[in-house]
Structure 1
Amino acid sequence: MQESIKTIFTESIQAQIAAGEVLPEVLEAAAMTIVQGLINGNKVICCGESSCNILAEHFAGLLVNHYETERPCLPAIALSQNHVHLDMHNTEHDSDKFSRQVRAFAQQGDLLVVFAIDGNEKNIISAVEAALTKDMTVIALVGDEGGELIGLLGPNDVEILTPSKRPSRIIESHLFNVHCLSQLIDNTLFPQDDQ
């Protein structure tokens, strides 16, 4: 069993090394896009399907509260994955649960940060389509080859494509990327003397 555990660690480390080779430029672009949006008075709206919803909530929480250093709160929200309170009478439109919230809460210039495993999650695709109708910038954290989601992104959007097909490695990379983005945003907006 211990050999199996060591294999899991090795696989995770190798996935992070592969991501470290291809993601620095897009992580910088995503951080600067978020920073500029916040400076312009816009908010960050996050969403993710299933286990990725925890990442969306975590990122929004880090922006509202702080990452590692106390600082003023930043406007961010994670969309609810629980559609019961959104539509008590009609459950036929499960793929609308995020898009309806985007249409309700988002304004032109806001940023939508989506978390996906393979980019074919219907709720995420619908949310991005709703964001595009509001002229929002989209930052997509996705794995595998990006699926249908990647085809929706425009030149001003940012694609953070984790080079892995395994959901567990993709989620681990997303969490690392969230922490990286949080640190970059904090360092840019609230530089400390020791940086």
Structure 2
Amino acid sequence: MADALKNSAADKGGAVQCAPTGELRMSELDAIVKRLTSLRAYSALGMMGAGLLTTAARDGVFRALGWTGAMAPEQLFLPLHRGGHHPVSISEATSVLADADYTPTFWAWSNLLALELGQSLGELRYLDNRPSFEFARHVRNAVAHGGTFDIRHMVGPAGFAEFEIVPALNGTPLADFVSPGDVMALFESVLDDLRNDFLE
């Protein structure tokens, strides 16, 4: 294991500990990095698709392309765990999008990124207490608590870019503190740290 995987004293609150050297297998870390890399790609495509669909619905692109009648893509079929598919109405969705702001969709993807990043760092037992990892933990917790910071303890400094999370932010809506792009930037920064500092 890389030298960056080092022992760290347990958090006084007993909530978060860093992984001791050698306890985490490289194969586990590699699998998590690959999972996060795929999630980042799909999230970026999802955000891009939301913008394109909203613009298409607003500008009547479907009609301009002649996607009417039998040619219109009316349904999307999502697979069910028990087998079969669940139909989702595309025409209904695009009619709603025509009058909607796609920012909530960006937040939906950003929230997913935050949850998955926090979950992955938890599986890795946070590796070390660098500020960006602690920042990601608090962002994940905010998403899990209805989009509001729920700061019960601080393991150490929690910072990323120009942002710093402090106990006084407890109860503050996440959306008043960061934007979806900031969450994506955090995700990419932590992913780069995992690749460069722990896998290489």
TM-score, with length taken from structure 1: 0.25
Greater gyration radius = 2
TM-score scaled by length of structure 2: 0.25
